[in-house]
Amino acid sequence: MCTDATCNRTTGTRDGLKRLSEFADNDRPASGEISRLTEHLFRHEAGKLVSVLTGIFGIDRLHLAEDVVQEALVRALQTWPYYGIPKNPAAWITQAAKNLALDLIRREKLFRDKQPEIIASVEQWSADSAAGDSPLFDTEIRDGRLRLMFACCHPLLAQEAQTALALKTLCGFGAAEIAKAFLTTEAAIAKRLTRTRQKIRELRIPFEIPSGEEFSVRLDGVLQTLYLLFNEGYKASSGESLVRADLCYEAIRLATLLAEHPVANQPRTQALVALMLLNGARLPARVDPQGNILRLKEQDRSNWNRTMISRGIFHLGQAAAGDQLSEYHLQAGIAACHCTADDYRSTDWPRILALYDQWIELNDSPVVALNRAVALANVNGPNAGIEAVKAIQNRAELGSYYLLYAVLGEFEAQLHNLQVAADHLRKALQLTEVKSERSFLSKRLRELASTEGATSKKPALLRNL
């Protein structure tokens, strides 16, 4: 089943392949263009190749599989500028990876005893992939990638290690990209990945899709990793850009792959896909041309991706099977209320509040409670919102969370308590490092200053903000 996001990604890859073919007739295509298009193609193919090679070499040799695939990309970057782009770039990279794997097998003593068996597996992989439309090969690729996904997201691995490894092995992200996404150094990510691979070897984590009760536990870990991956793309922890759409689309692609598998096709999986699609549909409208954040009420809804919304609603319907109700169901329901409203004023806030009431019964997180306070304020007014914030259990956990003060600032501004609102917004400004969020808060402070200046004859305390 192809969601809009994955269809867009596939279409993008086909467009990239088409452009690569156009360059194939040129003797010397631009090296910069080759680098960009090869990187695009590699990212699309990396997870497939790593999963196949891991199935052949074993999960304890995951690093070896990654190295072979990475080297195949390097060979493409070194070769194509001089000999031109091949007619079938994907097949070229696959063949290069196969040749490198065979060379490695013949060199390493570790594989000597199993060399004939492994070589036969590699040769068969090459033959199946050359067929292009082989159902067996497609099925093996899908299952191999799911096995790799479950190995990366094993509960014995730390959550941050799971996400980093999934980005590296399944999405083709480099250490520098992962470091940028999660606000750390490239060296730290490299060490984290090395330690994680070592732990996989020590724990002898199997390269398999688990069964029975273990499957349910492991599936929760996989879904949580994909959820965190999407959220990091939807609102980056730090840096110049609020949105990392590439992370969102990778998460959607992997979650869709999971939902397509008969064993993993469960209501909570479908609910997560729905949530990602419905939120992902709003990505084009979340920031202005300068990269500044736009609130929901300020977004141009004509820029929302209606096809993604339709697919999200479809998956939400699929998630209704059975009597299971997960947090993903409730969040997807909230997202659906926003996506199906013609404008901000027509948003079904009572329905959203009811969904938050259900959500907080499953998860009494203070962040969920803060979001519920916003919904409550939209139903019963800002005073009700402020009281709801005061009533949040474990509110102290939000002490360093800038959105607590941003929300309180908005509530106070609606009540025309401009100085109190400004104090809250200044506190929020101190607590965020994301450029677009700082720009938004500074703009709101200026707007408050302007409002106070227009309504008071006395020297405004806010004028110097």
pLDDT values of the chain reduced to their tens digit, one per residue, 465 residues: 344 433 443 333 334 334 333 434 444 455 566 666 566 666 667 777 787 777 777 777 787 788 888 888 788 878 888 778 788 777 787 778 878 877 777 776 555 555 565 555 555 555 545 444 433 334 444 667 778 888 888 888 888 888 888 888 877 777 887 887 676 788 999 999 999 989 988 888 887 777 777 787 788 888 988 898 888 788 765 555 667 788 888 889 889 988 988 888 999 999 999 999 999 999 999 888 887 888 899 999 999 999 999 999 999 999 998 788 999 999 999 999 999 999 999 999 999 999 999 999 999 999 999 999 999 999 999 999 999 999 998 888 899 899 999 999 999 999 999 999 999 999 999 998 778 888 889 999 999 988 766 555 444 333 333
- Residues 292 and 119: their CA atoms lie apart, in Å, by 53
- Residues 414 and 159: their CA atoms lie apart, in Å, by 40
Residue 238 has a pLDDT of 53
- Residues 95 and 439: their CA atoms lie apart, in Å, by 49
Residue 133 has a pLDDT of 40
293: β partners: 287
- Residues 231 and 246: their CA atoms lie apart, in Å, by 12
Q: What is the pTM of this model?
A: 0.72
User: Secondary structure of the chain in the HEC alphabet?
Assistant: CCCHHHHHHHHHHHHHHHHHHHHHCCCCCCHHHHHHHHHHHHHHHHHHHHHHHHHHHCHHHHHHHHHHHHHHHHHHHHHHHHHCCCCCHHHHHHHHHHHHHHHHHHHCHHHCCCHHHHHHHHHHHHHHHHHCCCHHHHHHHHHHHHHHHHHHCCCCCCHHHHHHHHHHHCCCCCHHHHHHHCCCCHHHHHHHHHHHHHHHHHHCCCCCCCCHHHHHHHHHHHHHHHHHHHHHHHCCCCCCCCCCHHHHHHHHHHHHHHHHCCCCCCHHHHHHHHHHHHHHCCHHHCECCCCCECCHHHCCHHHCCHHHHHHHHHHHHHHCCCCCCCHHHHHHHHHHHHHHCCCCCCCCHHHHHHHHHHHHHHCCCHHHHHHHHHHHHHHHCHHHHHHHHHCCCCHHHHCCCHHHHHHHHHHHHHCCCHHHHHHHHHHHHHHCCCHHHHHHHHHHHHHHHHHHHHHCCCCCCCCCC
Residue 464 has a pLDDT of 32
- Residues 206 and 45: their CA atoms lie apart, in Å, by 23
Per the CB < 8 A criterion, the answer to whether 105 and 118 are in contact is: yes
- Residues 281 and 304: their CA atoms lie apart, in Å, by 5
Alpha carbon 417 to its chain's center: 38
CB-CB neighbours of 150 under 10 Å: 23
Residue 327 has a pLDDT of 96
Q: Which residue has the tokens 């089943």?
A: 1
- Residues 352 and 348: their CA atoms lie apart, in Å, by 6
Residue 220 has a pLDDT of 87
Residue 90 has a pLDDT of 73
Residue 137 has a pLDDT of 39
Per the CB < 8 A criterion, the answer to whether 316 and 274 are in contact is: yes
- Residues 256 and 226: their CA atoms lie apart, in Å, by 11
Nearest alpha-carbon partner for 315 in 275, 282, 272, 270: 270
